[in-house]
Structure 1
C-alpha cells in the first residue's frame, strides 16, 4: 500500500510540475502549451492514459517547432535593409527572375494570391547543411503586377528593418524622430491605427514611397515600400 501511495504522490508531483511549466514558465518565454491544468485521476483505463500521452506528445512537437523557428538562421533577405527603392539588391521594377538572380534566392507564389494580374511571391528558405529548399519565409512579400515588382511588404514578426534601423515594433515617436517632418499621418480604414507615409519631398520621388502601418497603441505592425499608388493599397492584391 505504501509503495502504491508513493507512486500516486510522484504522479501528482509530475502533473503539478508540468502545469507550472505550461502555465508560468513557457508563457514567460512567449511560447504556448496545451493546457495541462486539469487534474489527472489516479486510476484510468489504459486507453485513456494513452490518449493523454499522445496529446502531450503532440504538444511537445508543437513546442519544438516553435523553438526551432525562433532559433533558425535568418534568411539572407532578412538581413537586408528596406529603402524607398527596394529591399537590399532587389529593386522595384525588377521581374521575379531578376530579383532572384540579384539576391541569389528563389521565390514561390503565395498560396493566397488573388489573381493572375496581381501576385505575391515569398522567398524560399534554404537548408545549407542538407542543401535543400525549405518552407517559404512568410515575413516578406513581393507584389508583382505585369511581371514587375511594384511593392515589397514586410509583415508582422519579420526582423527586416529600414535604413534608419526601424521595423516591426517601432513606435510612432521613433518614426517621427527618424523622419522629422517627412511623414504624413492618415487613419487606417479598418482599425484604430494609422498610416505614416513618407512624403514625396522626403522620398525624392513622386513614383515611390514608404508606408508604415501602426496599431491602436502606435506600434508599427507592418510596413512596405513600393510604387504609387500600389504602396497605399490597404488590401494588397485583393
Structure 2
C-alpha cells in the first residue's frame, strides 16, 4: 500500500470537503420554497401540512408572515404568506399548524402539472376517475359555470387530503390543497 505525503493528503481532504460542500449546497438549494415548487395534496415543496409556522419557515428557507386576510377567530384560524418570494402562495394555519395551501399564481403547478388557466377538461385528464365536480358556491352569473373540481386520492394513507380547483367559465381560477375539513372551507378562515 502506498503512503500519501502530507501535502497530497491535505489536497485530498480539501477536495472531499469541496465535493461534500457542493452536495450540501445543492440539496439546500433544492429545499427552498420557490415558484418552481410543486403543490401536492399534503403541502408544497418542502413545506408540509402539520408543520408549525416556524417549522415551515425553516423548511422552506423563507420568512412567513401573517397576512391581512384571515384574522384569528374562535377556530384559531389565520393565514401566513412568504414575506417576499414566492408570491401567490398562502398557508392556512389552524390550531398552530399548517392545514392547507392556497395558490393564486399562474406560475405554480401541482405535481401533475395543473395550473391556473387550465381548462376543466385538462384537470379531468390529469386526474382520470379521481375528480368530483360540484357547483361553485358563489357563481355570480349562471353563464360563469363555476365549479369545484375536487381531486380525491385513491390511496388510503391520503384519504384525509384533497386538491380543490375552483373554476369559472371552464378555466381554473385558483386551487388549494390540504387536510379535511379545512381544505373544503369555501370562505377560508371566515
Relative to the length of structure 2, the TM-score reads: 0.75
The aligned residue for residue 126 of structure 2 is: 178
Shift of 1:163: 0.7
Is the CA contact (8 Å cut-off) linking 1:182 and 1:202 kept in structure 2? no
Matched, 1:140 2:89: yes
The answer for the alignment partner of 1:165 in structure 2 is 113
Matched positions, count = 152
SS in 2 for 1:201: coil
**Distance in 2 (alpha carbons) for counterparts of 1:108 and 1:87:** 17
Question: Is 1:193 aligned to 2:146, yes or no?
Answer: yes
Q: Could you state the TM-score of these two structures normalised by the residue count of structure 1?
A: 0.60
Are 2:162 and 1:209 equivalent residues in the alignment? Answer: yes
Q: Does the CA contact (< 8 Å) of 2:33 and 2:46 recur in 1?
A: no
Distance of 1:146 and 1:196 partners within structure 2: 27
Q: Are 2:173 and 1:221 equivalent residues in the alignment?
A: yes
Report the alpha carbon displacement of residue 76 of structure 1 after superposing the two structures with TM: 4.3
How far is the alpha carbon of 1:97 from its aligned partner? 0.5
Tell me how far apart the structure 1 counterparts of residues 178 and 93 of structure 2 sit (CA, whole Å). Answer: 11
2-side partners of 1:83 and 1:230: how far apart?
Answer: 16
Partner of 2:113, secondary structure, is coil
Larger Rg: 1
Per-residue CA distance 1:190-223 (angstroms, 9 max, x = gap): 11300011124268522111111101x1100000
Distance 1:214 1:204, change over 3 A: farther
Q: Structure 1 segments of 4 or more deviating over 3 A?
A: none
**CA RMSD after TM alignment:** 1.8
- SS of alignment partner, residue 50 of structure 2: coil
Of 56, 77, 101, 1:152 maps to 101
Correspondence for 2:83 among 124, 139, 145 = 124
**Structure with more of its chain in helix, by fraction:** 1
* 1:90 lines up with 2:47 in the alignment: yes
User: What's the CA shift for 1:125?
Assistant: 1.3
Q: Which runs of 5+ in 2 are unaligned?
A: 1-31, 140-144
Q: Per chain length, whose mean CA-contact separation is higher, i.e. which structure has more relative contact order (CA < 8 Å, sep 6+)? A: 2
What CA distance in whole angstroms lies between the structure 2 residues aligned with 1:170 and 1:92? 25
